[in-house]
Chain A
């Protein structure tokens, strides 16, 4: 009879629908379920056996016949689990899990949820079921978990609360209570081994509950996030309209609060729409000063000039948290010209941006380059950016920028060849077109 087992609901993608607070514990594949006397139902062949805290679920695999549907055996219906007998014979067989289940008078599996019969008192009949594990799963492990779940009796706690809310009574006693675990007033008594297991079960449940609560908060936050974003947008619009309207009636208080709002928005990470006016924003001012202080040491190490990108990475790494965006960095650097700080932002013709000491003098660098490039070796074969880097004590990329600047000033000229990019001292002004054969 196909409806021997309880029906197990399955989603459209084949996953079992779990009851409230039901948790999967283990699973085995390629499992057949048979009854020892084979009278009660057609054997279920080659399915997925899932152990949960409340039930044993058998899901048909896609290859098995379409007539099998998902079956469930409530753990509550199990009256006994046999331990495996290790014998010579069992080594050659597929491992088996044998357990005894209660059968209700109408020949179906005892299912407390369906309300077929009351507690363990009825259903005197029981049969033995065997799960034959033909797949490669860990049968012993599964059996161990089955014992645990069965003993933990997770369904009882649920049924207590479930039926309690269902019947609307506040006493908490339900038809599904069994024996001495519950005292007369419905609270659980911690007695014996069952008590210890019960305690652990409760701990597990409370953790689960608090986790769920936490996730509830997160869900709530997510829904609020949308509102927050909308709020921030509204503020932005207001700021925009406020600044562009330029009413003469705007008093100082208004402007103050508007600036506060801008600062607050900036600190949260929302870029102020009124960029020109936010040039004086407090956040950027503070950042600017902090950056100027911070950048002194790297500058010294790098010989007086450091690539803006490198400075950005160093700064953010030093900050650790509350990282700044590239935009913030640029803003902070541009503010330096308003303050009296010893550093400045400089943009080369090639587009490369560097931070350099105000005291840094281009002339001094050129003098050193000239010294390098007039050496006999350099007169013959020029210098490369790496050579300059070593002499000047700065990074090669920086050195190249200096060389290019020196070229644009007429001090050097370039030589591009398969050997690479080299620079020579500029001799073109020295060459007299009328005296080209004269060796100078």
Chain B
């Protein structure tokens, strides 16, 4: 089985047509579906939150069969992810894409569970602690993209579950939970 680092690649990764954007409708739909899942899987396991279309992304090439996804194909698959809410374009030119293998609201759920599991219902923490503190290790929150975390926190703030405030140092913010 082929691997990309520790990641196990599916067998159709070696099927050359997989890397050419298919024009026929049924084939295209299948192809897009397979790529969406592959991208999300890969990003989740590798903790990748942002994909730059013009950069080299290991998943987009297969050196064994010497094929690479064209820019058009990459944009097509990522746009499909955006349409179903699993990604967002970070710029108008569609050069950078934020990958949300968990949607923002799902991340919010995870944060709430994290808070409940650790008894932080009324605690105060810094944002940095949430994403890299000891408690987060082993959870999905560990190493989460800061941008995503902020948005999830803001969502929870809107729901009244917490309050975000500026911390003592200029670059860190704090959170007061009231779950």
Q: Write the residues of chain A forming the contact surface with B, with a CB cutoff of 8 angstroms.
A: 382, 407-408, 410, 413-417, 419, 422, 424, 426-429, 431, 433, 436-440
Q: How large is the interface on B (under 10, 10 to 19, 20 to 34, 35 or more residues)?
A: 20 to 34
Contact status B11-A436, CB under 8 Å: yes
Q: Which of A408, A419, A422, A437 contacts B10 (CB 8 A)?
A: A437
Tell whether B26 is near chain A: CB-to-CB under 8 Å.
Answer: yes
Question: B26: nearest residue on chain A (CB-CB)?
Answer: A410
**CA separation between A436 and B15, bound complex, in Å?**
13
Closest to A434 in B: B37
CA distance A316 to B34 in the complex (A): 53
| A427-B12, A428-B31, A437-B10 as given contacts; A415 in contact with B24, CB under 8 Å | no
The digit string for B25-43, where 1 denotes a CB below 8 A from any CB of A, is 0110011011001000000
Of A413, A415, A417, which is in contact with the most chain B CB atoms at under 10 Å from its CB? Answer: A413
In the complex, which of the residues B11, B15, B23, B37 contacts A424, with contact meaning CB atoms closer than 8 Å?
Answer: B15
Residue of B nearest to A435 (CB): B10
A382 vs B19: C-alpha distance when bound (angstroms) = 14
Chain B residues whose CB sits within 8 angstroms of the CB of A424 once the complex forms = 15-17
Among B8, B10, B16, B27, point to the contact of A428 (Cβ < 8 A).
B27
- CB atoms of B1 and A437 under 8 A apart: yes
Chain B nearest Cβ from A221, distance in angstroms? 57
Contact (Cβ within 8 A) A414 B66 = no
When distances are taken between beta carbons in the complex, the residues of chain B under 8 Å from A413 are 17, 20, 22, 24, 27
Among A415, A427, A438, A440, the residue within 8 A (CB) of B20 is A415
Of the A-B pairs whose beta carbons lie under 8 Å apart in the complex, a sample of 26, sorted by A's number, is A407-B23, A408-B24, A413-B17, A413-B22, A414-B22, A415-B16, A415-B17, A417-B19, A417-B20, A419-B66, A422-B16, A424-B15, A424-B16, A424-B17, A426-B27, A427-B15, A427-B17, A428-B22, A428-B26, A428-B27, A428-B31, A428-B34, A436-B10, A436-B11, A436-B37, A437-B1
Residues of A within 8 Å of B96, CB to CB, are none
Q: Which residue of A lies closest to B28 (CB)?
A: A428
Whether A429 touches B22, Cβ cut-off 8 Å, given contacts A417-B66, A436-B11, A437-B10, is: no
B67 located at the interface, meaning its Cβ lies under 8 Å from any Cβ of chain A in the complex: yes
B77 to chain A, nearest CB (A): 14
Choose among B12, B19, B20, B22 the residue that contacts A431 (Cβ–Cβ < 8 A): B12
Chain A residues with Cβ under 8 A from B1's Cβ?
A: 437
> Across the two chains, which residue of chain A brings its CB closest to B12?
A431
* Pick from B17, B26, B33: contact of A429, CB under 8 Å: B26
Q: State in angstroms the CA–CA spacing of A101 and B20 once bound together.
A: 93
When distances are taken between beta carbons in the complex, the residues of chain A under 8 Å from B11 are 436-440
CB B39 to nearest CB in A, in angstroms, measures 13
